[in-house]
């Protein structure tokens, strides 16, 4: 390749073979070609699943498939690696929140990916579960869009997973998402949420949630999806820019740019904090929602609380 000044630009080779590198990992200081990047991602997902015992034989894993890049890459990798390593089944679940001008396209993308991979696919909607779309809810309720959306989507996924007798729910959260969540909890001063992982909630009536991509960063996922032709360009959710997360994402990306590996260190710090907390923090008592019966930490779950608040305002 030649630069604008006519000089030949040096393209480093992959550290595993002679092919040109397309990715440099500042953490391991490795250059990787297309093939070895994909291999590295898949092997690290298997390693992560194994170390954290995310999958067991006999599992039926409901993969939350939004149709976006992360969840599409997750479904694609799990559908390949899980049957090779475990006697477990993969099913895809898509939640239609009811966001006009955005959701139609992403659902279409989810439907075609599941078809292409031969994975059984279930679609549930806020409208059928809660009697309203996210658009109509936001029109009547001054809550921040992503907070309401997140609470209801979590419930929709749990309800759908229970309906199809899934043993766990896999979501496409990546390393960058995880680092942002830690930072958001610090900025909010939400110590309880920061340590929530240390109380092993899946043992207490919650369907287990697993995040097999939590050690893979956004850039690797983007490259993996492009190399494997997984993602088509999709519109961004119209509410995305209103989110606190959007501001934290900009900050986290800047920190990562100037201090490569910072996001990974944020997660490692969080994991050791959780390990320490497990020794001293006793899990809070679990109770069951008076409205829907879901396990929760008060008298009513967050989703039912949100919907009840809405009814009062009508």
Alpha-carbon 305 to chain mean position: 24
Q: Is residue 304 part of the contact set for Zn ion (CB under 5 A)? A: yes
Taking the complex as a whole, the smallest distance from the CB of residue 187 to ligand SF4 amounts, in Å, to: 18
301 binds, among ligand SF4, Zn ion, none (CB under 5 to 8 A by kind): Zn ion
Q: Is residue 184 part of the contact set for ligand SF4 (CB under 6 A)? A: no
For Zn ion, the binding residue among 46, 266, 301, 306 (CB under 5 A) is 301
| Footprint on residues 54-83 left by ligand SF4 (CB under 6 A) | none
Q: Is residue 237 part of the contact set for ligand SF4 (CB under 6 A)? A: yes
Taking the complex as a whole, the smallest distance from the CB of residue 278 to ligand SF4 amounts, in Å, to: 29
34 binds, among ligand SF4, Zn ion, none (CB under 5 to 8 A by kind): none
Q: Using alpha carbons, list the distances in angstroms from residue 287 to 46, 162, 265, 294.
A: 34, 18, 35, 8
Q: Is residue 243 part of the contact set for ligand SF4 (CB under 6 A)? A: yes
Piece of 31-39, 233-241, 257-265, 294-302 that binds ligand SF4 (CB under 6 A): 233-241
For ligand SF4, the binding residue among 71, 110, 239, 249 (CB under 6 A) is 239
Q: Is residue 146 part of the contact set for ligand SF4 (CB under 6 A)? A: yes
| Footprint on residues 272-291 left by Zn ion (CB under 5 A) | 289, 291
Taking the complex as a whole, the smallest distance from the CB of residue 154 to ligand SF4 amounts, in Å, to: 10
Q: Is residue 95 part of the contact set for ligand SF4 (CB under 6 A)? A: no
90 binds, among Zn ion, ligand SF4, none (CB under 5 to 8 A by kind): none
Residues 6+ apart with CB under 8 A from 191: 185
Q: Is residue 137 part of the contact set for ligand SF4 (CB under 6 A)? A: no
For ligand SF4, the binding residue among 149, 160, 195, 221 (CB under 6 A) is 149
Residues in touch with Zn ion (CB under 5 A): 289, 291-292, 294, 301, 304
Residues near ligand SF4 (CB under 6 A): 97, 145-146, 149-150, 237, 239-240, 243
């Amino acid at each position: 390749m030649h630069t604008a000044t006519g000089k030949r630009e040096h393209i480093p080779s992959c550290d595993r073979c002679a092919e040109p590198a397309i990715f440099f990992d500042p953490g391991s200081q490795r250059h990787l070609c297309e093939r070895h990047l994909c291999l590295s991602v898949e092997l690290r997902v298997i390693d992560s699943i194994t170390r954290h015992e995310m999958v067991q034989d006999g599992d039926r894993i409901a993969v939350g498939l939004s149709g976006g890049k992360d969840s599409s890459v997750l479904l694609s990798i799990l559908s390949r690696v899980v049957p090779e390593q475990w006697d477990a089944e993969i099913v895809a679940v898509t939640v239609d929140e009811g966001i006009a001008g955005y959701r139609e396209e992403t659902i279409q993308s989810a439907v075609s990916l599941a078809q292409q991979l031969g994975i059984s696919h279930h679609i549930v909607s806020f409208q059928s579960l809660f009697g309203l779309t996210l658009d109509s809810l936001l029109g009547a309720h001054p809550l921040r869009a992503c907070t309401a959306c997140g609470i209801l989507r979590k419930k929709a996924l749990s309800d759908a997973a229970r309906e199809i007798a899934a043993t766990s729910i896999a979501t496409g959260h990546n390393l960058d998402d995880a680092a942002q969540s830690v930072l958001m909890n610090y900025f909010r001063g939400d110590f309880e949420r920061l340590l929530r992982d240390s109380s092993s909630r899946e043992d207490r009536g919650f369907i287990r949630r697993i995040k097999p991509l939590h050690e893979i960063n956004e850039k690797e996922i983007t490259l993996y999806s492009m190399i494997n032709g997984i993602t088509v360009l999709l519109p961004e959710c119209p509410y995305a820019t209103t989110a606190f997360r959007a501001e934290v994402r900009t900050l986290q990306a800047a920190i990562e740019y100037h201090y490569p590996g910072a996001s990974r260190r944020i997660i490692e710090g969080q994991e050791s904090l959780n390990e320490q907390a497990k020794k001293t923090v006793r899990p809070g008592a679990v109770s069951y929602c008076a409205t829907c019966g879901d396990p929760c930490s008060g008298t009513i779950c967050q989703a039912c609380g949100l919907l009840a608040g809405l009814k009062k305002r009508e």
